[in-house]
């Protein structure tokens, strides 16, 4: 007959073993939903961007989460509810600033909106990365906020490449319309400046209007522009969603094939449109790689390794000549690029 004390000791041992098993299992499980990675050690990283309904920002999130999984780091990525939702974005930053994060990455809506919610982060000497869109250096300095690094594409160069590609697609010159993003947003300003530099004296820009990086807005704006300027031969859209809206407006007007369109970002729908011939090309800025770089930079900072003050993410023109390679590799760059954070390609 089994001793009752022995049976009790067996039950205690079994419970202890089960608790150990559950603890080991939960250590490898997701810490939560909404963009957090599986992680058990290393720096905790918070990234806040604009709007996940825009595939560009969703790709940045996905790149950050992929790198988090690769390195076993705790990363959360959050966003506002729209491209212009500075209030929602600031609320996310403020909530995360009150938690125990070791590094922050932020993509602002404009050049000043994120500064105030970042003040508590800066006061704790937590490193901050300025991602994708430049934050005002003067306003940041006045608020006591500094940045460990800026990680983003060269938007001036993107605009220049777009201008050169559009002129080639148009056959040299003609009347052009430009769809800007959010009024006053620095990336759009830089893209327009680069485009203007590349095309000055070679094409006639007959109209420049904002369409808020929104596809439906771009469709409406482009339809109006085509009626007001029937001689338009080319359209430069400062991002792909606007480019797709412009392409639909051109199709609706019965002018497919007669008007060339170049946009910026390199999202999947734009790559497919290039393959289908409704877009002449897109300047891919690889937000997936940018998200990876953000996590790599935070990991380096936590390990006291150097991070360059400015990291230029890769950009490349994708047109009919290379779109199949781009689609096959998406969301990763299909060509090697220098990564100064990791010291490799």
Work out the number of other CB atoms within 10 angstroms of the CB of residue 168: 15
Q: Do both 149 and 167 map to the same domain?
A: no
Q: Do both 280 and 298 map to the same domain?
A: no
**pLDDT one-digit tens code per residue, 115-150:** 999 999 999 999 999 999 999 999 999 999 999 999
Taking the C-alpha atoms of residue 143 and residue 149, their distance in angstroms, rounded to an integer, is 17
Query: In the predicted model, is pLDDT for residue 103 greater than 60?
Result: yes
The count of structural domains within the chain is 2
pLDDT at 344: 67
Q: Are 281 and 165 in contact (CB under 8 A)?
A: yes
Q: Do both 124 and 226 map to the same domain?
A: no
Query: Is position 28 within any domain?
Result: no
Q: Do both 263 and 292 map to the same domain?
A: no
Query: Is position 22 within any domain?
Result: no
Query: In the predicted model, is pLDDT for residue 31 greater than 50?
Result: no
Q: Do both 101 and 206 map to the same domain?
A: no
Q: Are 280 and 190 in contact (CB under 8 A)?
A: no
Q: Do both 146 and 185 map to the same domain?
A: no
Query: Is position 332 within any domain?
Result: no
Query: Is position 270 within any domain?
Result: yes
Query: Is position 69 within any domain?
Result: yes
**pLDDT one-digit tens code per residue, 249-274:** 999 999 999 999 999 999 999 999 99
Q: Are 285 and 158 in contact (CB under 8 A)?
A: yes
Mean pLDDT of 185-191: 91
Query: Is position 75 within any domain?
Result: yes
- Read off the CATH number of the domain in which 159 is found: 3.40.50.2300
Query: Is position 3 within any domain?
Result: no
Q: Are 258 and 278 in contact (CB under 8 A)?
A: no
Phi then psi for residue 104, to 5 deg, are: -125, 145
**pLDDT one-digit tens code per residue, 284-330:** 999 999 999 999 999 999 999 999 999 998 899 999 999 999 999 99
Q: What is the pTM of this model?
A: 0.81
Q: Do both 168 and 206 map to the same domain?
A: yes
For residue 173, name the pLDDT band (cuts at 50, 70, 90): confident
Q: Do both 274 and 300 map to the same domain?
A: no
Q: Which SS3 state, helix, strand or coil, does residue 183 take?
A: coil
| Boundary (domain end) residue, out of 243, 266, 284 | 284
Q: Do both 123 and 177 map to the same domain?
A: no
- Between the alpha carbon of residue 294 and those of residues 72, 210, 301, the distances in Å are 15, 29, 11
Q: Do both 147 and 268 map to the same domain?
A: no
Query: Is position 334 within any domain?
Result: no
Q: Do both 146 and 160 map to the same domain?
A: no
Q: Do both 162 and 280 map to the same domain?
A: yes
Query: In the predicted model, is pLDDT for residue 42 greater than 70?
Result: yes
Strands (E), the chain: 44-51, 74-80, 103-106, 128-131, 149-152, 175-180, 204-210, 232-237, 260-265, 281-284, 310-312, 316-318
Domain with 170 in it? 155-284
Query: In the predicted model, is pLDDT for residue 50 greater than 50?
Result: yes
């Amino acid at each position: 007959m089994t001793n009752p004390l022995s049976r009790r000791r067996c039950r205690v041992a079994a419970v202890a073993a089960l608790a150990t098993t559950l603890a080991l299992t939960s250590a490898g499980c997701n810490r939560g939903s909404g963009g957090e990675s599986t992680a058990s050690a290393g720096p905790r990283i918070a990234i806040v961007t604009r709007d996940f309904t825009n595939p560009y920002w969703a790709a940045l999130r996905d790149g950050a989460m992929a790198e988090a999984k690769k390195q076993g780091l705790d990363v959360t990525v959050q966003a506002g509810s729209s491209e212009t939702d500075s209030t929602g974005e600031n609320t996310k930053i403020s909530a995360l600033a009150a938690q125990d994060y070791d590094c922050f990455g932020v993509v602002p809506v404009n050049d000043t909106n994120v500064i105030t919610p970042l003040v508590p982060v800066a006061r704790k000497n937590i490193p901050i990365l300025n991602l994708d869109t430049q934050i005002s250096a003067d306003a940041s300095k006045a608020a006591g906020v500094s940045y460990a690094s800026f990680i983003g594409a060269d938007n001036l160069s993107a605009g220049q490449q777009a201008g050169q590609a559009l002129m080639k697609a148009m056959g040299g010159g003609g009347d052009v319309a430009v769809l800007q993003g959010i009024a006053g947003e620095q990336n759009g300003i830089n893209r327009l400046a680069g485009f203007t530099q590349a095309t000055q004296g070679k094409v006639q820009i007959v109209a420049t209007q904002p369409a808020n990086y929104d596809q439906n807005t771009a469709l409406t704006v482009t339809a109006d522009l085509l009626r007001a300027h029937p001689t338009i031969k080319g359209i430069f859209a400062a991002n792909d969603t606007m480019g797709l809206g412009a392409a639909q407006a051109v199709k609706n007007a019965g002018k497919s094939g007669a008007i060339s369109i170049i946009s910026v970002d390199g999202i999947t729908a734009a790559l497919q449109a290039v393959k289908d011939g409704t877009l002449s090309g897109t300047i891919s800025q690889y937000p997936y790689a940018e998200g990876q770089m953000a996590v790599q930079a935070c990991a380096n900072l936590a390990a006291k390794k150097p991070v360059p003050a400015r990291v230029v993410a890769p950009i490349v023109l994708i047109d009919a000549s290379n779109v199949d390679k781009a689609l096959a590799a998406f969301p990763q760059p299909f060509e090697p690029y220098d990564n100064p954070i990791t010291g490799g390609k």
